[in-house]
Each structure stands twice: as structure tokens, then as C-alpha cells.
Amino acid sequence: MNKGGPSSEILKSGLVPLLAGLGMAALSGAVMKGLSTELPAFLIVWIRFLGFVAIMVPLVLWRQGKARMMRPVLPWAQLLRGAMMAMGTVCFVIAARTLDFAEAITLLYIYPFLITLLAPLFLNEPPRLQTFLGVAGGFVGVLLVARPSAQGLVNAGTPFALAAGASIAGQMILNRRLGSAVDPLLTSFWGACVVTMLLTPFAPWIWQAVTPEQAGKLALLAGMAALSQTLVTIAFARSPAVDLAPFTYMEIIAAVGIGFAVFGTLPDTWSFLGMAIIIASGVMVARIQRGRITARRQPKI
């Protein structure tokens, strides 16, 4: 008998950390967009993940100990995940220089489609038809919110935004793959270490002096990266990738809220309609996920 009820199952799933991580990622993307016209993309990403590592070291030592921190499990998967993190973040910063933020985010959201398509192949998690419809519905909602222009879609930043989306899909798949074997805290930490090690050799060529204001923003980025990456890693360790994919569109709603709170911009009617579609798509998949949980708990007689 399930004493906790549906709300208890939701709290135990990856949904709550996913939504929190995506909200933090939306704020981080806005800060990176602002810095992208002032500093080189590689410098922003390098400092962001260098700070990420510095923040995570005492936490990982406290929770996991030195031996586990220094001995990666599944090192090749961790290396590949870190390389994808580096590529995806650099590509997004480059794309954000020439694309409107909404257009860049829209193109980035190729990744829920890729997760849904790749999960059966790499994770043995075949989605249901309703899951595909949820992902498709969420993307329609994204288009209504962002409404990218024809000029934006042929912009030089477009291939970089698409590459960033493909990289995120790979990260999410590896998050799920590693989740059964590695503590999410360690996965998050090792990913940041790989990005830092890959970019550090370029530091002498990408370095430039930063102002106190830029330094503050970079420190903020490091903290947000540590929190958002860890929360998303936890989410995909707890729940199947195909079940979480439609909920990733909630980052768009977070971005709209941040825009209103910080810049005073209010979404129009089409944007509100798009957000309603995004929420409806997520609710549909949540009901499917709840049905799967209930079915697994039924007596096999």
C-alpha cells in the first residue's frame, strides 16, 4: 500500500530537482548572455567551471571522502560527459552573441527530442506515444513563447545553438547511465573537473583582465553552475530520461519569469498560450509516469 500518495512519489522522483535546476540554468543563461559581448566565450566557460570545482571540492570531501573523490567510477563515461559539457557551454555562449536569447533557447531545445529518440537505444527506456506527444507539444509551446524570426534561424549562431542542444542531450543520457553506478554529487564534480582540465591549457591565450563587476558575475555563474548541474544530475539519476524530457521545457517559463522580474518585460498573449501548452504537456507525461508507478506496484497475480 502506498501511504505517501502521488505527491510523495513526485517528491521522490527527479521532477523537483529537475525544475529547480532548470530555473537556475535559465538565470545562468541570462548572465552568460550579458557577458558574451564583453568577454571571450572560452574565458567565461573556463572561469565558470574553475569556480564550480572550487565550490564542489569541500562539499565532495565532506560527503564522499578523499578516496572516492580522487577515483572516478566509469572514467571514460565521465570524460565524455565533461567534454560534452565544455562543448555545449562554449557553443551556447557563441550562439548567444549573435542570436536573440529567446531564439537561442528555442534552438537549444532540440535536446528533449534527441533524449526521447536516443533513450531506447542507449538506456533501454522505450517511450510511449504519449511521451512523444508531450515532447512535441512542449516544443510547440516553446515556439509560441519565443517565436524565432526567419533571420534568427539563418543566423551564424544557429549551428552553435543546435550543437549545444545536441551536447545537452548527450549529457542527460550519460547522467541517466551513470546514475545507477555513481553518486550524482561525484558525477557533477567530475564533469566540472574535466571541463576545467580541457580548457586550462588555453588559459594563457584566452585570458584578459576583468572588471570587479565582471568578476562578480563570473563568481555568480560558478555558484549557479554548481547548483544547477548537480540538481539536474540528481534528477536524471532518479527518473527515466524519457519521463523527464517533456518537463525540460519548463526552463522557458523560468526564463520568462526572470525577464519580468529583472527587466520588467511581460509576455504577450501568444507567450501565455505557449506556456499553457508547455504545462499541459508536462502534466500529461506526469500522469503517464504515475500510471507506470502504480502498474509496477500492482500484485502480479
pLDDT of residue 54: 92
Contact 214, 39 (CB under 8 A): yes
251 closest CA partner among 149, 81, 108 = 108
Please determine, for residue 195, whether its predicted confidence score (pLDDT) is greater than 60.
yes
278 closest CA partner among 243, 255, 247, 254 = 247
* Distance (Å, whole) CA 141 – CA 34: 25
For 203, the 3-state DSSP assignment is: helix
pLDDT of residue 197: 92
Three-state secondary structure readout of 72-91? CCCHHHHHHHHHHHHHHHHH
Which of residues 259 and 144 earns the better pLDDT score? 144
Which of residues 111 and 189 earns the better pLDDT score? 189
Which of residues 238 and 299 earns the better pLDDT score? 238
Which of residues 80 and 4 earns the better pLDDT score? 80
Average pLDDT, rounded, for the chain: 79
pLDDT band, very low/low/confident/very high, at 146 (cuts 50, 70, 90): low
pLDDT of residue 12: 63
Beta strands in the chain, from DSSP E residues, in sequence order: none
> For the residues 254-276, what does the mean pLDDT come to?
73
Q: In terms of C-beta density within 10 A (0-12 exposed, 13-18 middle, 19 or more buried), how is residue 232 classed?
A: buried
pLDDT band, very low/low/confident/very high, at 286 (cuts 50, 70, 90): low
pLDDT of residue 294: 41
181 φ, ψ (degrees, to nearest 5): -120, -20
Render pLDDT for 200-244 as a digit per residue (tens, 0 to 9).
Answer: 998 888 888 899 999 999 999 999 988 998 888 888 888 887 778
Handedness of CA 215, 216, 218, 222 (dihedral sign): positive
Render pLDDT for 12-69 as a digit per residue (tens, 0 to 9).
Answer: 678 888 888 988 888 888 888 888 888 988 899 899 999 999 999 998 898 888 888 8
